[in-house]
């Protein structure tokens, strides 16, 4: 029997979905034990349990980002897999919902309704616009596909990979400003790694046209927050939508709360569903018992 | 030479796109003349010019709806074509923008930001939801396709046609309440005809679940306005988004302005672009000069 420890805020929400799959040779344990081989849950809870799991062979994260487990001072003698394929659809709904909110001027129409003002307010459209994706992994690929459904042009900036066929043009390395030039929308889905710190800085923001909208649904470290504030205050870009921040929850005295044309959500762009994450575990467990390589493995060095 | 009269508010916006196509044997005229064969423009302006165009052979409407030309007391001795294939993308952006605005609780997040309240507000998603389309012509087919991209189930209610393959299940005739039962979203794209009056009435609204959202981007005659008001006031459905009304502009004393959970736009869901409409004309003109049947012909009897 393989002993599984579920480490999430509401472990039963996940356990019931895993139990339904009737997986072979699987036994749930409620607390860290020496002979527990598998952990499934939030990376920070797995980190806190690591010392009590000397025989851990595999940890399945329910998040895409696994920063809590990447510190080089920590054990990395087990297979770490993260959650993929789960967040793309949710992120697409968030990103295109917010882009359409801006283009269709939904806020303005609500205001006009309040004022009983019947008027042909000009609204824009996604069709024909150019979206730039900072990072094109499984989430970026989903965004690229949805952008094509809306008739948009898609650019992608990645370290080197060019996996999504929906991206019209890829950019790498020192092509960042070229990538940004002329974008209507810039969307970051980059993870927190040592290479992604403050990629969205003054130079990148200055390369965007003044009507551009920036959305960050990746990680907060990617943005130079004071440069973004300057850019919005000086109307160098039109708007920003941020779901992630350098410090979360965002401190109450942070100027972002009232920066003009900055709209925020609270790291809730893609709240996942236990059923979806249980599926990822189940798929990987079947590989695990057959001794096959797991999918969605994290490279501890790269960080994703 | 075929004489063409452009009858729109800003005729030059259309004329420049048509001129670019260098169509053979085409001559623009600025005013109705006895030998003018072709009219292109807004149906109400074409109606007003009909008497002065005794040799009219073909009228191309720049609208999808051609009600002003359907009155049986009027001439119907010419080929009438309407605008299709132009509005689907625009309507999709409007409909899914508003559905995502509701599901992603964008208004609530704006309010939370004002209150500096960091919280995991529950938001919903389109994936897995069921959308019901009242009318599945070219616009409905586009909505159906986009709904599938978002992972939704699609029902269609039509007179009899079942052209779009993206619709999972079709309903006709007396199956209207069956069609409505259990829908998450009901979207009407029906034109104004003698058969579509008040299809969205008390019975239909009562068949929807209380979390349902109704969107009307077709024509205002389709809705029993007082039944919709009752339904919203009594929270029998969750919300409505209306772009069209029985009387437009909506009278200032109409209770819709302040009906709870009713959001309105001002017949602006799909403001079209002259370039797109010129393309429709150009395509049809090429058929016209070859003596071939035109596309997008309106049946005066059916009304679309």
pLDDT tens-digit readout, A262-298: 999 999 999 888 999 999 999 999 999 999 999 999 9
Burial of A121 (0-12, 13-18, 19+ CB in 10 A): middle
What's the whole-number average pLDDT of chain B? 96
Which of B85, B123, B241, B256 to mutate to probe the A interface, most A CBs <10 Å?
Answer: B123
Residue B199 has pLDDT above 80, yes or no: yes
Q: Which residues of B touch A120 (CB under 8 A)?
A: 266-268, 271
Structure tokens at B247: 């009387």
Q: Which pTM does this prediction carry?
A: 0.91
SS3 B113: helix
Task: Measure the CA–CA gap between A298 and A293, rounded to whole angstroms.
Answer: 12
- Cβ of B146 within 8 Å of Cβ of A149? The answer is yes
Q: Which residues of B touch A125 (CB under 8 A)?
A: 89-90, 93
Model confidence at A85, pLDDT cuts 50, 70, 90, reads confident
pLDDT computed for residue A248 by the predictor: 95
Which of B113, B240, B257 to mutate to probe the A interface, most A CBs <10 Å?
Answer: B113
pLDDT computed for residue B272 by the predictor: 83
Q: Identify the sign of the CA torsion A165, A272, A217, B148.
A: positive
Instruction: Catalytic residue, from A45, A219, A225, A246: name it.
Output: A219
CA atoms within 13 A on the CB side of A11: 14
Cα distances from A139 to residues B4, B11, B175, B188, B255, in angstroms, run 51, 45, 40, 32, 44
pLDDT tens-digit readout, A149-206: 999 999 999 999 999 999 999 999 999 999 999 999 999 999 998 899 999 999 999 9
Model confidence at A142, pLDDT cuts 50, 70, 90, reads very high
Q: What is the ipTM of this complex?
A: 0.90
- Cβ of A93 within 8 Å of Cβ of B263? The answer is no
Q: What is the mean pLDDT of residues B181-210?
A: 96
Model confidence at A34, pLDDT cuts 50, 70, 90, reads very high
- Cβ of B104 within 8 Å of Cβ of A116? The answer is no
Structure tokens at B117: 């309240």
Residue B101 has pLDDT above 90, yes or no: yes
The answer to whether A51 faces chain B, any CB pair under 8 Å, is no
Structure tokens at B21: 């196509």
Task: Measure the CA–CA gap between B6 and A299, rounded to whole angstroms.
Answer: 64
Task: Measure the CA–CA gap between B100 and A97, rounded to whole angstroms.
Answer: 5
Percent pLDDT > 70 in chain B is 100
Q: Which residues of B touch A248 (CB under 8 A)?
A: 118
pLDDT computed for residue A300 by the predictor: 94
Q: What is the mean pLDDT of residues B127-137?
A: 97
Q: What is the mean pLDDT of residues A240-260?
A: 97
Q: Which domains does chain A have, with CATH numbers?
A: 2-85+272-289 (3.40.50.720), 88-264 (3.40.50.720)
- Least CB-CB distance to A121: which of B125, B146, B268? B268
Q: Which residues of A touch B93 (CB under 8 A)?
A: 100, 103-104, 125-127, 150
Task: Measure the CA–CA gap between A185 and A137, rounded to whole angstroms.
Answer: 18
Is residue A286 annotated as a catalytic residue, yes or no? no
Residue A12 host element (H or E): helix A11-20
């Amino acid at each position: 029997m393989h002993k599984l420890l579920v480490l999430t805020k509401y472990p039963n929400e996940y356990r019931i979905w895993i139990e339904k799959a009737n997986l072979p040779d699987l036994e749930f344990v409620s607390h860290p034990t020496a002979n527990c081989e598998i952990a499934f849950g939030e990376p920070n809870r797995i980190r806190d349990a690591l010392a009590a799991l000397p025989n851990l062979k595999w940890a399945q994260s329910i998040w895409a980002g696994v920063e809590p487990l990447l510190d080089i001072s920590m054990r990395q003698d087990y297979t770490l897999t993260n959650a993929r394929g789960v967040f793309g659809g949710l992120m697409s709904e968030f990103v295109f919902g917010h882009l359409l909110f801006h283009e269709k001027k939904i806020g303005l129409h609500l205001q006009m309704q309040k004022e009983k003002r019947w008027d042909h307010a000009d609204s824009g459209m996604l069709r024909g616009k150019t979206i730039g994706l900072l990072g094109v992994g499984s989430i970026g690929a989903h965004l690229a596909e949805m952008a094509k459904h809306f008739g948009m042009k898609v650019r992608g900036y990645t370290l080197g990979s060019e996996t999504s066929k929906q991206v019209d043009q890829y950019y790498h390395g020192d092509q960042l400003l070229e990538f940004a030039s002329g974008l209507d929308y810039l969307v970051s889905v980059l993870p927190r790694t040592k290479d992604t710190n403050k990629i969205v800085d003054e130079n990148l923001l200055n390369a965007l046209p003044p009507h551009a909208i920036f959305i960050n649904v990746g990680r907060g470290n990617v943005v130079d927050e004071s440069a973004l504030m300057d850019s919005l205050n000086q109307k160098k870009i039109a708007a920003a939508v941020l779901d992630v921040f350098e410090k979360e929850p965002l401190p109450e005295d942070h100027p972002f709360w009232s920066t003009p044309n900055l709209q925020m959500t609270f790291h809730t762009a893609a709240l996942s569903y236990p059923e979806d994450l249980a599926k990822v575990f189940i798929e990987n467990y079947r590989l695990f018992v057959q001794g096959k390589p797991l999918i969605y493995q994290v490279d501890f060095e790269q960080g994703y």
